[in-house]
Chains A and B, each alone.
Chain A
């Protein structure tokens, strides 16, 4: 294929590097430095997609971030990404892209039938039509909408690209590298300020790349290059291209998305695809420029109709002619600049100017070049289906209401300019209340809200001289405040052509008898008639009109449509535009990849993985791990072909008959120290703590102020003023914050300090009838007899030369001990226990066996202490002191908490003694009762009792105290099970608790 629309010389592309790419399966060629859009236009391809609602043919409308049409599905290095603007995507060798919104192909699109049935698709169509009949929704409407809607397809594969986050601080952050951004950056950098200059395009310079101006004695483009080169050499300046600042958040925090790899065929090794920058700036200069706005006329969505600034950019930056017979339709001087560029390359444009008799240097130049100019003329409608073939034009009366005789003029593109709209998104996001500027028919930033200043075209200033002057000054002054340097900058001489006043004209009236679609929002297919309907149906607020018609709600966020929409509403409502007000600008300014927002926090990296010091031993010994909060814990140790059920049963049984060892390092541990520690614990826990002797442990329950159980665990008095508190694995962090809250804010008079020691100690629970024999062999010189180390006793002993803490506490309900050593000796301890325990048939056991053991003993844990239960519900009321006050005590007097039939923990056994009851099952009286069947309680934890060899569960049951012996049904609609059950005591095994004391 030849690049028939590429001019021979000119542009900023690298003609030495030819690139091949595919669009809709067909191979084309472009150059390095092209965008996908410029390369397609060079090949004469204007049809890139179909519109969202009517499936009308769509081409290119802009040349950058404002593009509403040319959204494609991109294929790169085996991956696919939707919602890519062809005008932003840089060309690389092997790029592949496809049109979206068209089936079976862009040239023959079945959905285009909507175009002829458009009576069905006016504003509010979705709200009105899909409401009835209700049964149609799933069968007809939804599948239809799903097929027809959307801008591409998301990949269903795991994204193998990497995304990074970066936090940065700077004195001055500058959004946009046009004349204003460059001047501001240069002046601030010269004063030694830390500057970040961000440009969303690959090339720096903004409007200077395409405008015909001189700064100093250089062209604008050369001046920009010189400034950028100098900034890059300065150590206090970061210059970033391909980087879009898309959000202005609280306290001068801005977020920028840097496209690191999207312009390359594949991401380089160790490089991210994108990098998200969180930038906290002392000052912000918004130099985001402006976007040309269209004039609305009939069939203005036909491929070949585009912004005049885009046509100029394709020519000057990419060396591409968007047409050979261009028609320029303008209400200001910008259209002439485009026409002059065409003329310079030997193409003869026709200019239609809605103004009667404009005069300026630019217009004079166009006249001198012999360009055909028609004043008081407008385009009434574009003609042609897949591409502009001609235009219906007419003269227009001074009041812009009457059209003259319609003439048809041959053309292959229509370049339209309706003047300029400042890009005020960032300023508005900062909280700045924008104001309407009459002279330019657009909104500009008002009073600064955060530390931001908006200059240049973004502030509605279109004179280069004025922009440079204010921006150099702002850069100097903002940086001077911070660095206290004040280097004088000489402002260079500027040569620019003066332009004349634009015409306040934005929409061509319909000729008699014609019903052309005149589009406002090109991406969402919102036409003038849709807004008229919305207003006729009573929508008044611009926010409501927006939602009803979807005006400005597409992925381009109405960059080219919002103002014309406002003009229309204000005209129909007979209000001025500022009274109509504009809709809120919300971040992001442009679509941002979800991957970039998520960053590295994906999968296993979404939270830290914590491992005990014995982790590698568990791995070597076939442990199957389970996530317990952020910890990895052995769930069971697999032997041969065992499954979870078999292995956990074996491990639990061995604890009941011999001895087992369990890694309990993950339990939260908090050191509580200070002369008032006992008093503090007495306020934190529900039971009494003042008389606990040194060398003893006690089980405690703590409540929240609302009376709900927060956590439980044992706390041991290590010495006079030193307690070792344990918490559950899951609540460790919350309990620490809770204790700190009371010590710092509520009772600062207590002399107590708390600190987490979870990671300082490795813990092993040794449980089973033979655990004392094992302990004696581990500590041969210590008295670990029932008298020497009684239940809830504590001692510090020597484990083969390592200092060890021994607690006689039990979670399994068996005779049991917990041994702690400093973490570095954890593995040593574990190996010693296994080695010495061999003669007692020791086996390690995981969390599954641990659960079995505690459930059949009726020990409550996280599944019962679920943030909804009070001590009574867990049969822990015996631990609630009547004598002293403590956190949450007053709440226990609430009537619901003292009700006679209050819920309470019970045991549940299936009548057939065979069927395991799924956790979460509801307990009901009558399994045949009509829905909703009244729920009496729920199964909180289930196990296979190794003591009785049948299933056993715990449940929280209404009036549980009086339900023992009752027969109920456990129902699990999720598992489709109905199980007849009997309610028994929650203490299924050893109800008197003799074993732990033996």
Chain B
């Protein structure tokens, strides 16, 4: 079970969180023309990376905040965590 550092609450076990997928995906702006390809990339196409991956988790049984977690998908090592509005450098 992963041990995740919620930027709002501190170290918490994985069973307090729910997974939210790739955090690098950006939703196309509202009211903007979007090509089929662009839209498919947003809705469906994911890289399924091996290695370092920036992903979303929601601290669902805690502060309910969506956070970003930089995690290695093979070793499960967590490098850094970010608040929803924090820029990932």
Contacts and interface: CB of A to CB of B under 8 A. Distances in A.
Interface of A: 167, 249-253, 278, 280, 431, 683, 705-706, 737, 740-741, 744-746, 748, 884-885, 890-891
Contacts of A705: 27, 42-43
A352 B75 CA distance: 48
Contacts of A746: 27
Interface string B47-89: 0000000001010100011100000000110100000110000
Contacts of A253: 1, 3, 13
A884 to B, nearest CB: 8
A748 B84 contact: yes
Interface in B1-39: 1-3, 13, 18, 20, 27-28, 30-31, 34, 39
A717 B21 CA distance: 33
B41 to A, nearest CB: 12
Contacts of B75: 431
B1 A278 contact: yes
A251 B76 contact: yes
B39 A891 contact: yes
A744 B1 contact: no
Contacts of B58: 737, 740-741
B43 A885 contact: no
A278 B30 CA distance: 46
Nearest to A746: B27
Given A250-B2, A251-B3, A745 B66 contact: yes
A748 B3 CA distance: 27
A744 B39 contact: no
A250 B76 contact: yes
B3 A885 contact: no
Contacts, number: 52
14 contacts: A167-B13, A250-B1, A251-B2, A252-B3, A431-B75, A705-B43, A741-B20, A744-B65, A745-B56, A745-B66, A884-B31, A885-B31, A890-B34, A890-B39
A683 B76 contact: no
Most chain A CB neighbours (cut-off 10 Å) among B20, B76, B84? B84
Given A683-B30, A885-B31, A744 B84 contact: yes
A740 B44 CA distance: 21
A252 B42 CA distance: 36
B3 A891 contact: no
Given A705-B42, A706-B43, A885-B30, A740 B66 contact: yes
Contact of A748 (B13, B18, B64, B85): B85
A253 B4 CA distance: 12
A737 B21 CA distance: 14
B19 to A, nearest CB: 11
Nearest to A249: B1
A890 B28 CA distance: 10
Contacts of A741: 20, 58, 66
A713 B78 CA distance: 40
Contacts of B60: 737
Contacts of A745: 56, 66, 84
Given A431-B75, A748-B85, A280 B3 contact: yes
Nearest to B31: A885
A515 B56 CA distance: 62
B18 A737 contact: yes
A332 to B, nearest CB: 38
B65 to A, nearest CB: 7
Nearest to B67: A744
Given A251-B3, A251-B76, A744-B65, 6 more contacts: A250-B3, A251-B1, A280-B13, A705-B42, A705-B43, A737-B58
A759 to B, nearest CB: 15
Nearest to B13: A280
A710 to B, nearest CB: 14
Shortest 9 CB-CB contacts between residues of A and residues of B: A251-B3, A885-B30, A744-B84, A885-B31, A744-B66, A250-B76, A253-B1, A890-B39, A746-B27
A891 B28 CA distance: 12
Contacts of B43: 705-706, 891
Nearest to B11: A280
B87 to A, nearest CB: 12
B3 to A, nearest CB: 4
Nearest to A683: B30
Contacts of B85: 744, 748
Nearest to A253: B1
Contacts of B13: 167, 253, 280
Nearest to B30: A885
A735 to B, nearest CB: 13
A280 B64 CA distance: 23
Contacts of B56: 745
Most chain A beta-carbon neighbours within 10 Å: one of B1, B2, B34, B42:
B1
A894 to B, nearest CB: 8
Nearest to B76: A250
Nearest to B68: A745
Contacts of B27: 705, 746
A332 B53 CA distance: 51
Contacts of A737: 18, 58, 60
Nearest to A742: B27
Nearest to A706: B43
A746 B58 CA distance: 14
B14 to A, nearest CB: 8
A863 B6 CA distance: 37
A253 B39 CA distance: 40
Contacts of B30: 683, 885
A167 B56 CA distance: 26
